[in-house]
Structure 1
Amino acid sequence: MARKLPVILTAAEQQLLLDQFTIRYPTQERNRMMIKLMLDTGLRRAEAINLRWKDINLMSGKLKVVQGKGAKDRILWIQEETLEELKNWKERQAEELKKRDIQDYELVFTTLKGTKINPNNFYKMVCKYSDKADINKQVTPHTLRHTFATDLYRDTKNIRLVQKALGHEDLSTTMIYTHIVDDELEEAMKGFRKK
């Protein structure tokens, strides 16, 4: 069965998207942090929205995805730079919620009222900021996951690692990322020595 290749962001497009946020505003810092974390870990939209502070070790960078798709848990790791930004976000979130007299919250990403983020609002936000960045692709929260998977495969050439990081039951689901990298190879080779 033929499958359509997923839309992915180049490194320049990823940076362009992240650069659209004015982090002096708490909701923009939160949104940027969500996108960055999804690009760096391959979290699904629902996994990012339901992520709890108790499932992240801010010292080691270990992140536990609890009850991901198919009710499966998995362990991921957050790189140093993103971990530092996450620590800053935790302080900012606590400050903002304290101003509103909210002490009791567990979620990493909340509204300013301390409630869970609406998945549709998050979807619209990703689309809005990719438009603002002039990225001429249809960018959705799932694009961030595809981008992570492609970048991880490109770096490691290990499809099993990508499968494990994404929490895919079946390796055939993950194999699509090998085709993306094959297309890049074809394009590079067709243009080879033409300059």
Structure 2
Amino acid sequence: VHWVRAFIRFHGVRHPATLGSSEVEAFLSWLANERKVSVSTHRQALAALLFFYGKVLCTDLPWLQEIGRPRPSRRLPVVLTPDEVVRILGFLEGEHRLFAQLLYGTGMRISEGLQLRVKDLDFDHGTIIVREGKGSKDRALMLPESLAPSLREQLSRARAWWLKDQAEGRSGVALPDALERKYPRAGHSWPWFWVFAQHTHSTDPRSGVVRRHHMYDQTFQRAFKRAVEQAGITKPATPHTLRHSFATALLRSGYDIRTVQDLLGHSDVSTTMIYTHVLKVGGA
């Protein structure tokens, strides 16, 4: 009702039966261009008019069905140059620095990196397995050879936390629900321990169990934001920007779009294609 009233008021309280496609298009254009409504709001307005004309006025309106719906605008991703990445890394320390290097060197999402388990790192084959990434699909990534020594050191630190928890009789780390029900002791085993473990224990909101979680997203986000500011980077860079920068660097190096799609875990290649636009407009 709200959108029908707005439509009628927009056209000087004329009866909608006297209004046609041009008037509807004018109203929808006004919403998009002047009111700057979101795509979802624009669709609500169009749906309301479709219902009103079809169900209330019982008017055949093929012209209304043909009116184009706006598509969500796709902004080009922020991309860092290799030099900018090096500058940011210079202001990160310890596991925060290693985690940023891992995101930039593999293109994984921050959530995927945080949830890495010891068993997901295969040094012999130089691979990292991302378990149930976006879309609930596993995928194999290249383990950057340059990071192998640092990752081994990280595992040594993680093992010290694991041994401490074992000695204190702590609860094991959280597991996917189905797995935890089937193998209730698996969370106590070393292969399932976090690569980037939190240094303190916290209460699992799902179960109320006090256990060691992986490094908090917010903790790394804050450290990265400080590093960007200290490096004098004016781009609105976030940890996800490292993923964008990884993809753009691969395409610039000659990798084909399908390979990059697989490494990023995109289900649709059109999502990956946006990085080709970054290259065309002279991105990093």
Give the TM-score, by structure 2 length: 0.59
Tell me the percent identity.
37
1:3 aligns with 2:61: no
Which of 164, 171, 187 aligns to 2:269? It is 171
Which of 81, 84, 91 aligns to 1:13? It is 84
Counterparts of 1:83-162 in structure 2, within 5 Å, are: 83-95=148-160, 97=161, 101-103=164-166, 106-113=193-200, 114-162=212-260
> How many residue pairs get matched?
178
State the 1:18 CA deviation: 1.2
- Provide the C-alpha distance between the structure 1 equivalents of 2:241 and 2:110, rounded to a whole number of angstroms: 10
- Residue number in structure 2 paired with 1:82: 147
1:37 aligns with 2:124: no
Paired residue type of 1:112:
H
* Greater RCO, CA 8 A, separation 6+: 1
Q: Which one has a bigger Cα radius of gyration?
A: 2
- Residue number in structure 2 paired with 1:71: 136
- Provide the C-alpha distance between the structure 1 equivalents of 2:273 and 2:157, rounded to a whole number of angstroms: 39
Unaligned runs of 5+ residues in structure 2 are: 1-70, 167-187, 201-211
- Residue number in structure 1 paired with 2:180: none
- Provide the C-alpha distance between the structure 1 equivalents of 2:230 and 2:112, rounded to a whole number of angstroms: 25
- Residue number in structure 2 paired with 1:190: none
- Provide the C-alpha distance between the structure 2 equivalents of 1:157 and 1:41, rounded to a whole number of angstroms: 14
- Residue number in structure 1 paired with 2:65: none
- Provide the C-alpha distance between the structure 2 equivalents of 1:12 and 1:149, rounded to a whole number of angstroms: 16
Unaligned runs of 5+ residues in structure 1 are: 22-27, 188-195
**8 Å Cα contact 1:29-1:89 kept in structure 2:** no
**8 Å Cα contact 1:127-1:138 kept in structure 2:** no
State the 1:117 CA deviation: 1.9
What is the SS of the residue equivalent to 2:253?
Answer: helix
Does 66-75 or 128-137 show the bigger shift? 128-137
- Provide the C-alpha distance between the structure 2 equivalents of 1:107 and 1:93, rounded to a whole number of angstroms: 7
Paired residue type of 1:72:
K
Q: Residues 67-121 of structure 1, C-alpha deviation per residue, up to 9 Å, x if partnerless?
A: 00010111101121112221122223334x27x8234561111121242222222
- Provide the C-alpha distance between the structure 2 equivalents of 1:81 and 1:35, rounded to a whole number of angstroms: 14
Which of 114, 121, 141 aligns to 1:56? It is 121
